[in-house]
Amino acid sequence: FKPYVAPTASELLLPVISKVYGFLDQVAQTGATGTDEAVLLQDLRKAYLTWIAAIFNSDLDNIFLAPQNAQHLVTIFQPIATQLAADHSNPQSQRLAFGVITKAIQAWLVDPLGHHTLAMLTPAALAAINNSASASSESSRPRLRQAAAQALGVSLGSDSARETREQFRQFVVSSVLPACFAAPTQAGFDLADAQSSLVVAEIAGLLQMMLLSGAPDVAGSNGSAATTMSAPQMLSPPIGGDLNQNQCASYLSTGLLPELGCPANMATEFVQALGSLDQKQFKKYFVAFLNNSARP
């Protein structure tokens, strides 16, 4: 039944988000007036991010690409990246914020034509999808994301959909990737704390997913997946391949990391680790990288 609820969910999306951001903006301007309101604010952030994550895990991500919503896509995700993902006072919400963005990258930059169900597109499950039996099973399932898009009147291979996804890619490059390094290096963020460690793991997964989106066999010349692909197999960390041909790897090694003051050799080593290590190994490397970056 999910595809048939997509139009209703699409109509409710902006009103709900507007209410949430309206309250968050009000509190940001006036401050929480007491303990009860502070607790309510934390609960609202957590519930909101959980709701957004549920949309992706229910394969309804394309409601964001509906005509009335697509033009607001970056506006919707901007506060998640710049506010909720930056607030280390609430590690649970911070982890959820990075997790939601990772799901969006999976949906629109890694599998934009809806060949796979997003609930399965976790780093641990990607390798299983590549198994021939799993790939065959996946391709025989109803593609709920594609059906939902059809119910919304959204053509995932259209120029307008590709343009929206490219706008989201540019947003990730300009706002999300810098936040991945700013959040765990800000004052008060304790890399040794258990909750903060989960945030770092989420950031590490986001970086690996973004690297995957830049792989030549995933990204086309216009930054979108090739429209001729039929239920493509999904790569999983370690991604490997020629990182010189990877859009994200090139940007990190020659653009973002040097801009953040990272020496060239350290930036190259970071990108090589990002592409060659599995999720657990890279998370460990990332923590060491952050610790080294924090040294005077």
pLDDT tens sequence for the chain (296 residues): 577 899 999 999 999 999 999 888 887 777 667 777 778 888 999 999 999 999 999 999 999 999 999 999 999 999 999 999 999 989 999 999 999 999 999 999 989 999 888 876 655 555 444 443 344 444 445 488 999 999 999 999 999 999 999 999 999 999 999 999 999 999 999 999 999 999 999 999 999 999 988 866 554 434 333 333 333 444 445 555 567 778 899 999 999 999 999 999 999 999 999 988 888 899 999 999 999 876 55
Q: How far is CA 247 from each of CA 109, 110, 289, rounded to the nearest angstrom?
A: 12, 13, 22
CA distances from 43 to 20, 37, 39, 287 (A): 12, 10, 6, 29
Whole-prediction pTM = 0.86
3-state secondary structure at position 135: helix
Residues 102, 108 contacting (CB under 8 angstroms):
no
Tell me the Ramachandran region of residue 276: left when phi exceeds 0, alpha when psi lies from -120 to 50, beta otherwise.
alpha
What is the reported pLDDT for 213?
86
Is residue 53 within a helix (H) or strand (E), and if so which, with residue range? Answer: helix 35-57
Report which of 145, 159, 179 is spatially closest to residue 77, judged by C-alpha positions. Answer: 179
> Which element (helix H / strand E) includes 201?
helix 194-213
